[in-house]
Amino acid sequence: MNQLETRELAYFVAVAETLHFSQAAEQLGITQPPLSRAIAHLERRVGVPLLERTTRQVRLTAAGEVFLTECRTILAAMDTAVRKARKAAEQRITIAARPASGPGVLPALLAAGADGVLTDVVFTYDEIGALRDGTADIALMCQTVATPGLELLELGPEEPVVLLPADHALADRPFLTLAEVEALVGYEAQLPNEPLDTMVDRVALGRLVVVVGESVRDRLGGSVRAVPVHGYPATQLVLAWLPDAHSAASRLTATAQAVMAERTPRP
């Protein structure tokens, strides 16, 4: 069988997702007849029916369901390859970071640069996904669980603090236990999928209680207090990258180590 073309896979995915040839053709920017011919040709090359067609509907066959999954994987992999190639040519390093992750470290990394190579940042709640799909070269994140397949550089511990309104009855306590935090009205165990500034505003209004890393202190202002939490799982601020990003990682990790050395208090 001759190698299939990317165009054919994209055509099939469009039809399989819409289950309508006219809608798929419009989505692809072509007319319906050449699309129908392309799908028929694809089925002949694959050797099995991928779609069941009647005058009223289009349905995927069992083989079509499997082929759709594989086509999506192939097209996603090709998009990743293009992004990685373009990034390599641009001589840029992109850091993926969660909005509330290491706010004191990230600006220092961006300001320091990495041996003259431009450094960008993309904010995401799926840092590892950004590494795997090529959106980012390096991730700045808090590690709470094992991360198989990634190389890591530990930057330092992120001590947990709970954010409370400045006038909260417990805001002046030297620390709170995890049980006390979990009992507070408005407590959310999962970090909300929103920017840090939005979280801080919600905390100040008494609508949210959340545990974050202590490095957010510089971003709180006077309306919110950060109180240490005892008994909360420890986290480690790390830089993470895939093994094939070793070149970009080696430049940025050297910069990160220098930045952290400057931030570490001398005895």
pLDDT for res 104: 62
What pLDDT does 203 receive?
93
pLDDT at position 63: 94
Q: Decide if pLDDT at 1 tops 70.
A: no
State the pLDDT at residue 134.
81
Comparing CA positions, the residue from 257, 256, 265, 209 lying closest to residue 232 is 209
pLDDT: which is higher, 227 or 93 = 227
Residue 102 near residue 158 (C-beta atoms within 8 A):
yes
Say which residues have a Cβ less than 8 Å from residue 146's Cβ, sequence separation at least 6. none
**What is the average pLDDT value for the chain, to the nearest integer?**
82
pLDDT, position 35: 92
Does residue 161 have a pLDDT over 60? yes
Of the chain, the end-to-end C-alpha distance in Å amounts to 70
Band of the pLDDT at 264, cuts 50, 70, 90? low
Q: Lowest mean pLDDT of 31-35, 115-119, 177-181, name the range.
A: 115-119
Q: How many residues does the chain have?
A: 267
Interval 219-246 mean pLDDT? 83
- As beta bridge partners, residue 209 has 187
Question: In this predicted model, what pLDDT tens digit does every residue of 115-150 receive, in sequence order?
Answer: 555 677 888 888 888 888 888 888 888 776 667 788
183 exposed, middle or buried (CB, 10 Å; 0-12, 13-18, 19+)? exposed
Most confident of 36-45, 84-93, 188-197, 218-227: 36-45
List the single range of 57-66, 91-100, 156-165, 175-184 with lowest mean pLDDT.
91-100
Q: How many helices (H) and strands (E) does the chain have?
A: 9, 11
pLDDT at residue 114 above 60? no
Mean of the pLDDT values across residues 65-91?
81
| Residue-level pLDDT at 65 | 94
Specify whether the backbone of 145 is left (phi greater than 0), alpha (psi in -120 to 50) or beta.
beta
- Of the CA atoms within 13 Å of residue 265, those in its CB half-sphere come to 1
pLDDT of residue 61: 94
Sheet holding 176-177, edge to edge: 176-177, 224-230, 160-165, 210-213
Residue 195 · residue 174 · CB < 8 Å: no
DSSP E strand boundaries for the chain: 51-53, 58-60, 92-97, 118-123, 138-143, 151-158, 160-165, 176-177, 210-213, 224-230, 235-241
pTM attached to this predicted model = 0.54
φ, ψ at 195 (rounded to 5°): -60, 155
Give the Cα separation of 99 and 106 in Å (integer): 10
pLDDT higher for 85 or 183?
Answer: 183
pLDDT band at 52 (very low <50, low <70, confident <90, very high): very high
- What pLDDT shows up at residue 168? 93
